[in-house]
Amino acid sequence: MNYKLFIAIRYLFSKKRHNTINLITWVSMMGVAIGTMALIVVLSVMNGFESLVQNSFSAFDPSLKILPCEGKAFSTQDSLIQKAKALKTYTAWCEVIEQDGLVAFKDQQTPAIIKGVDYNYGTIINSETIMWDGTMEFDDAYNNQNLAAIGIGMAERINSGVDLLQPLTLYAPKNRKVNLARPDANFTQTTFYNNGIFCVMQPKYDDNLVVMPINTVRKAYQLSDDYVTSIEIKCATEKVKSTKKQLQTILSEQYIILDQYEQQADFYRITKIEKWTTFMILCFIVMIATFNIIGSLSMIIIEKKEDIALFNSLGATRRNIQKLFTIEGSLISTLGMTIGAILGIILVLLQQQFGFITTGTQIYPVELQLFDVVAVIAIVLLMGFLSSLYTVKKMRNEE
C-alpha cells in the first residue's frame, strides 16, 4: 500500500487529540452521504415519473405517424402514400382525421378535438389497456347510429357516462362563408352515442379527445373520401427503425414520419431539462456539504503539524505531504459518498420491490438507472477532491 494512503487512512480513523475534530469530520462525511443519497433518490423518482408518463403516451401513440410537410391534410390517393401502404413491414395501417369541434350533452357543452379513425384503430393503440369503461370498437352501430369514445376528463365535464340511450351532439363548422344572421347555420349537427370512456392519464387526451369512425367525421365536416390529416401505423418494436427508414425513402421530403419519441418530443425535452436542473440544484447543496471538508481537513492539518515536521526530517517532500492530506480529504468525501450511494440505492430498490410510499391508490414510481448513479458518484468525488486540493493549496500559501 502506498505510504501516503496508509497514513491518510490512519489519520481518518485514529482518535484525535481534540474530540471536536472527530465530530466535524464525521459531520462532513454524513453531509456528503445525505447529499449523495438525496441525489440518487430524487433522480430515481424523476425517472419513475418519466417512465410512467411515457407508458401512458405509448399506450395512445402509434408506432409511427405520417404527417404532411406542408399544410394540414393530404390525399390517400397520392402515389407515394399508395406505395408506402404496399409495404409489408407493419401490422396495421389507419387513416386519421383530426378536427376541432363542439360537443354537447344535455345542457353541457365543451370544445373538443374530434379524431376520426378506421375500425382497426383499437389494434393500433391496444385500446384494451386504456379503456376505463365500455369499448372503442365501432363495428356494431347502435340502431344504425354513430358511436364514439371520449376521454374521462371530458366525460366528467359534460356528465356523460357510457350511455346508448341519450345521444351527444357534435357541432362541426361548415366549410363555407359565415352566416352572421344565423350562427346555427354555420355548423352541421351530428348525433352520436358514447360507447366508451378512455383514460390515458394525460390531459391533452383525457380532457379534449373524442374518437369516432372516420366516415362519420368526413360526413360531419363535409370532407372527401380521400381526405386525411395523418396516417398511424403499428409495427413490431424491433421493426420500427427499419420501417421508418423505408417510409422515409419512399415518401421523400413531402412527408414527415414520427416515431413515438418524436411525437412527444416537447414533453421528453422538458422532462430532461427538469431532471438535470434538479440535479444541478442538488449538486449545489452537496457542494455546500463538501465545504465542511475544508474545515475538518484544515483542523487536521493544524493538529498534525508535528507529524509534518517529522515527515520533513525523514526526507518527505512538500509535494508528498500535500498529496497525503489531499488523499485524506478525498477519503472523507469518498466514504461519505459510499454510505450515501448504498443507502440511496437500497431505498430505491425497496420502493421498487415493496412500494412503501404511495400516491393515493398508486405506488410512488421510482426507477434506478446506472448512468444516474455513475454521474452522482463522479460529481461527488470530484467536488470532494477539489475541496481537499483547495484546502491543501491554501494552507501551503499561508505557510
Q: What is the pLDDT of residues 160-172, one digit of tens each?
A: 888 778 889 999 8
Any idea of the CA torsion for 295, 297, 301, 307, to the nearest 10 degrees?
Answer: 150
Instruction: Find the radius of gyration of the CA atoms of the chain.
Output: 32
Helix and strand counts by DSSP (H, E) for the chain: 13, 14
The answer to whether residues 327 and 389 touch, using CB atoms and an 8 Å cutoff, is no
The answer to whether residues 34 and 343 touch, using CB atoms and an 8 Å cutoff, is no
The CA distance from 85 to 93, in Å, is 8
Q: How many CB atoms lie within 10 A of CB 258?
A: 17
Residue 172 CA to its chain's centroid (Å): 35
E strand intervals along the chain: 64-68, 74-75, 92-105, 108-117, 131-134, 146-151, 163-173, 187-198, 209-213, 227-228, 230-234, 255-259, 358-359, 362-363
Residue 10 pLDDT more than 70?
Answer: no
The CA distance from 32 to 263, in Å, is 40
Beta pairing class for 64-68 and 255-259: antiparallel
The CA distance from 42 to 357, in Å, is 14
For residue 342, give the C-alpha cell.
448504498
Task: Give the three-state DSSP class for 197.
Answer: strand
Q: How many CB atoms lie within 10 A of CB 356?
A: 10
Residue 5 pLDDT more than 70?
Answer: no
> Would you state the pLDDT for residue 55?
72
The CA distance from 103 to 50, in Å, is 32
User: At 98, is the pLDDT very low, low, confident or very high (cuts 50, 70, 90)?
Assistant: very high
79: left (phi over 0), alpha (psi -120 to 50) or beta: alpha
Residue 266 CA to its chain's centroid (Å): 10
Task: Give the three-state DSSP class for 76.
Answer: coil
The CA distance from 17 to 19, in Å, is 6
Task: Give the three-state DSSP class for 228.
Answer: strand
Per-residue model confidence as pLDDT tens digits over 46-85: 888 888 777 766 677 888 999 999 888 999 999 999 999 9
Q: How many Cα atoms within 13 Å fall on the side-chain side of residue 366? A: 25
Q: How many Cα atoms within 13 Å fall on the side-chain side of residue 245? A: 5
Single-letter amino acid code for the residue at 390: Y
Residues, the chain: 399
Q: How many CB atoms lie within 10 A of CB 390?
A: 17
Q: Residue 390: which residues within 8 A CB-CB, separation 6 or more?
A: 294
> Would you state the pLDDT for residue 390?
76
Per-residue model confidence as pLDDT tens digits over 238-250: 888 899 999 998 9
The CA distance from 139 to 129, in Å, is 19
> Would you state the pLDDT for residue 339?
93
H/E stretch holding 73: none
Residue 143 pLDDT more than 60?
Answer: no
Prediction pTM value:
0.70
Q: What is the mean pLDDT of residues 127-132?
A: 83
